[in-house]
Amino acid sequence: SKRLTLGDLATKKQAGEPIVMVTAYDFPSAQIVEEAGVDMVLVGDSAAMTVLGYDSTVPVTIDEMLMLTKAVRRGLTKPLLVGDLPFGSYEASDELALATAQRFIKEAGVDLIKIERGGTTVDRARALVNAGIPVVGHVGLTPQTATSLGGYRAQGRTADAALAVIDDALALQDAGVSVLVIEAVPSEVTAALAPLLRIPLIGIGAGADADGQVLVFHDLLGIYAGGVAKFVKRYADVRGVSVAGVQAYADEVRDGVYPAPEHGYGMPEAEVARLRE
């Protein structure tokens, strides 16, 4: 099972075969998504919220993301691996973007680098592409700058706003990005954009007209308590299963059921006798 390539994604897009992308944040989740047969894995800065407990993606650092991304790399062979540059690690200059992207490639072995927004990020994307780094763009709802977008809410809901999202997408395509993520926009925006793109378009909360979909691992598996965005579909209740498992363990320890004799190590009779002397 050799590593997928950008050529394989292009082939899927051409064939109308949906591209499946999901996030992962550590070694076991990487092994799980690989075994499930996904095409692309994103170590999203959503890790800030899903695994580190911050209340937005803004605080997560390069070093925190690198630790998680390296763990995913060790668990993955076939899917394409995307590193997500955290807030503040690329926006200020092409030099900063290049230096940070190169760390994710050298230290964590990612195949592509994802950065958020249009605007000045288009220049950063072009600089990375010119330096030989494959880039994933991200338009629509961009969580790193959600405050300036009015919070975690759908974008592009007026014709003008939709055209602004489409302009960002086309500017990123012109800058040479390899893949584009579009998040939380009306399905009509995706439907209008998709025919204008040569590159694979991956939707999240963006309807069915993209070339593929991405969801957050913890969202689709139901790993945490609390509400999720409208676009999330829960395919499992891993939190429920996990709480029940730990509860069963706690009950058995308290009831003296665990550990049973078969969970213990033995000692030769002669040694037991000597021990008792």
The two three-digit tokens of residue 181, written as one number:
């993520």
In 70-158, DSSP assigns E strands to 80-84, 112-114, 135-140
Q: Residues forming the annotated binding site?
A: 45-46, 84, 114, 116
- The residue with its CB nearest to ligand KIV is 44
* CA torsion through residues 67, 48, 168, 6, sign: positive
In this structure, the strands spanning 179-183 and 212-215 are: unpaired
Measured from the CB atom, is 66 or 204 closer to ligand KIV? 204
Distance of CA 46 to the CA centre of its chain: 7
Q: Give the residue carrying structure tokens 């590593």.
A: 3
Q: Residues forming the annotated binding site for Mg(2+)?
A: 45, 84, 116
* Residue 137 lies near Na ion (rule: CB under 5 A): no
The catalytic residue positions are 183
CA distance 26 to 16: 31
Site residues for Na ion, 185-244, by CB under 5 A, read: none
In the complex, the smallest distance separating the C-beta of residue 50 from ligand KIV, rounded to whole angstroms, is 8
Instruction: Write out the residues near ligand KIV by the rule CB under 6 A.
Output: 23, 42, 44-46, 84, 138, 181, 183, 204, 214, 216
In the complex, the smallest distance separating the C-beta of residue 252 from ligand KIV, rounded to whole angstroms, is 37
Q: Which of ligand KIV, Na ion, none is residue 23 near (CB under 5 to 8 Å by kind)?
A: ligand KIV
Q: Give the residue carrying structure tokens 């040694």.
A: 271
Site string for Na ion, 67-106 (x = CB under 5 A): -----------------x----------------------
Measured from the CB atom, is 234 or 274 closer to ligand KIV? 234
Q: Give the residue carrying structure tokens 């977008």.
A: 149
Q: Which residues does residue 43 pair with via DSSP β-bridges, in sequence order?
A: 83
Number of residues this chain uses to bind Na ion (CB under 5 A) = 3
Of 4, 41, 44, 154, which lies in the binding site for Na ion, with binding defined by CB under 5 A?
A: 44
Closest to 113 in 3D by CA, of 69, 143, 75: 69
Measured from the CB atom, is 44 or 203 closer to Na ion? 44
Measured from the CB atom, is 84 or 111 closer to Na ion? 84
CA distance 155 to 229: 14
Q: Residues forming the annotated binding site for 3-methyl-2-oxobutanoate?
A: 45-46, 84, 114
In 72-162, DSSP assigns E strands to 80-84, 112-114, 135-140
The contact set with Na ion (CB under 5 A) reads: 44-45, 84
